[in-house]
Amino acid sequence: MGAILLAAAVALPAAAAAGAPAPRLDFGAADWALARGVADDPGLAAWYGGTGLQPVFAAPEGAPLRAALIAEAGRAAAHGLPDVYGVERLRRLDAAMQAPVETELAFARSFARWAHDVGGGILEPRRVHPEIRREVPRTPLDQLLRRFVQADDPEAALASVAPQTPEYRVLQAALAARTGPAIDPGLPQVPAGAWRESARDPAVVLLRARLAAAGFAADSADPELFDADLARQLRAYQARVGLAPDGVAGPRTLDRLNGGRDADSRDLLIALERMRWMNGHDLNARMIWVNLPEFNVRVKDGGRTIYESRAVIGKDRDDWRTPEFSDVMQNVVVNPSWNVPRSMAIRDYLPRLQQNRFAAGHLDVVDSRGRVVDRASVDFSRYTAKSFPYRLRQKPSADNALGEVKFIFPNSMNIYLHDTPTKGLFSESVRAFSNGCIRVQKPVELAHVLLEGASADPAATYARARQSGTERFLKVTGQPVHLVYFTTTVDEDGTIRHFRDIYDRDPAVWRALQQAAAEAGATGLETAALAQ
């Protein structure tokens, strides 16, 4: 692109705005250099085009803006971010102020990178893992620059780009203090085994030492004996880090104990990144929050839990795991029909129908026009998984797979919340049994909560729909639904809790964070973030 076209491309957005002056055509060498420097960044190009290539940071009044960016970008470690914002170079340019274009470009690019990373995360979640379907709503860069430039307190304006939730601040504080069960990796590791109460072994001495370093001391006159006090402290440690509190130092517990400080810091760094992915959502709004590793459904309002229930999520198998994404709740469906997912229909039911056309008699065979087909007229052996032209549907009934109610937030993956006739699974500690949708232990109470605001008497509205015996769609007030995946969370009282990485997604996030940091020139995310 020629220099004139390049400059015009940057300047055109100004002319597009209603009432804006005509774009400048009298560009000097410095203007052209700035235009070329920002042309590959759409956000910066939009900003400088809209302002006629006027400098921000190198302007006569730019000193407070430069100071604010240097201060905030210098706090990268507090957010668990690598030091990739060129803070030392910014300090040198600020002190010299001898190269206005170089200064402007350096500060502008640092601002763009900082705002991107702290405001919505280093990563684009959908590129990290195929089951992470989250879209990050990011504020346009030119809008952030406008707020920054116009702010009475630029440093406060820039600090507000990061998540402002109490949970994020607790995670930051834990990272800064390196709190929690962080164990000195210099301590000898506990050898492999399964140590339990009444065992006697020199390894028990090492177990005591590592537990004490984590804050769970159990002193004893006979340190080689695994006594009741050691079992009690081990159970407390296990509960703290999200393991089954069985008091047995088996492989999973020893792996966690022997992991040292780095493993716990890694949990915090991943949780901070996942919190940044949620930054574009109003987390103080009334919303449905489903934390998959916790097997839990909550309705929150103003950050406070007003409903809570156990949940069953997708099995840990390909195409069955529940994805991560956000959407908007639209309907409570009472007495629902169950449309068998096509993958299940062709995998589980088509072979049975090919052997016996009257198998699975609780399901209707439905054609493309929604008509129930007489099975006697169908030769199921003609069809393959690709050519099978029918849907399978279960009418509302006491044994319907969806129970008496489901909750619809339309999405391309056909994921929803629902009741279930299989109540016993809610007593399990690891509740990954479904085909991907989320089963709710207390579905009627959830329906009542979601109908608030859409009905003067939610319980009565629900009861009438239930008593009708037919499928009824009840509108709700468009509350956000967030299916999230936090293996490290913060309770409302500020307690940090850990849960099992049931789908093994954290390693993918960690590898992506490490790669992004390395590509940006950091020696490694954890090393860079925790160097202080």
Q: How far is CA 293 from CA 121, 245, 383, in A?
A: 21, 17, 39
Q: Cα–Cα distance between 474 and 40 in angstroms, integer?
A: 48
Q: Cα–Cα distance between 357 and 378 in angstroms, integer?
A: 8
193 CB burial (10 A radius; 0-12, 13-18, 19+)? middle
414 CB burial (10 A radius; 0-12, 13-18, 19+)? middle
DSSP, res 377: G
Which backbone phi and psi does 111 adopt, to 5 degrees?
-60, -45
For this structure, is 418 an active site residue?
A: yes
CB half-sphere exposure, 240, CA atoms < 13 A: 17
Write down the catalytic residue from 79, 116, 129, 437: 437
Q: Cα–Cα distance between 290 and 6 in angstroms, integer?
A: 47
Write down the catalytic residue from 116, 129, 418, 448: 418
Residue 310's contacts (CB-CB under 8 Å, 6 or more residues apart) are 295, 296, 297, 426, 431, 440, 441, 442
Q: Cα–Cα distance between 83 and 372 in angstroms, integer?
A: 63
Q: At what angle do helices 141-150 and 63-73 cross, to 10 degrees?
A: 120
Residues that are catalytic? 418, 437
